[in-house]
Amino acid sequence: MADTVAPMCGRVVTSSTPEELAEYLGADEIVATLDAPDHNVPPTRPLPLVWEETGGPGCARKLGTARWGLVPSWASDPSVGNRMFNARAETVAEKPSFRSAFKRRRCLVPIDGFYEWGPATPGSAGKKQPWFVHRADRDPLVLAGLWESRTVEGSGGLRTCTVITVDANEDLSAIHHRMPALLPPDGWSTWLDPDLDDRDLLEALLSPAPAGLLHRHPVDLRVGNPRNKGPGLMEPVEVDTAPGDTLFGAAVTP
């Protein structure tokens, strides 16, 4: 497979253990886990997922997994999810592919970082430069997502998800105009509540992250091929810079 530039937001890192995520996100039950850490996850692969289910006394917050790429309940072909791995915050409540899930099936997608491709640098031979983005404090990034579930003949249930995107904040705007919608802890319960259908309240949670929350550094072009794996993909690399290059600002980790 040739190297590719992942679309926004199209490549993430999932390295925290299920136990770590359950504790961090307050999950009551772990119902499914990823096979192993993955430092280069493309769409169509599994992601960790937290959602709430009603029934009995109150809601149960569950940690499981879902295939990245939402398949709407009305879709006859599950492969439609291959291109529905992102949903724009500006249209998610109205677009037929997402509006049903936005009303009742919202979730948290915890990851440890993501890759974004910015403009080529003087030494990149014209290729876009990949960057690794993570929280400055190294806690997991908690992304706003939606999920759907359906029965697939011969393979049981299939849970799928999408990640919502918003305008980039100051930490990322030099390399891309969009970023995943990050939810702070005080917004998790509101976002997860399956009985809440207040569009204005929900959309208010979907905003660019505060400046300074994220750090980024350039990484090797090998991350462009999703077959390349391992924690070494996250390591910083030296890249040539042009005078006054705004890609290298205060948000860049050493």
- Residues noted as catalytic: 9, 116
DSSP 8-state code for residue 252: B
- Do the Cβ atoms of 37 and 229 come closer than 8 Å? no
Half-sphere exposure of 247 (CA within 13 A, CB side): 22
How many CB atoms are located within 10 Å of the residue 249 CB? Answer: 11
Dihedral sign, Cα of residue 215, residue 64, residue 205, residue 181: positive
CA 212 vs CA 73, 195, 251: distances in Å: 38, 33, 7
Task: Please choose, from the candidates 161, 146, 158, the residue with its C-alpha nearest in 3D space to the C-alpha of residue 70.
Answer: 161
149 alpha carbon, distance to own chain's centre: 18
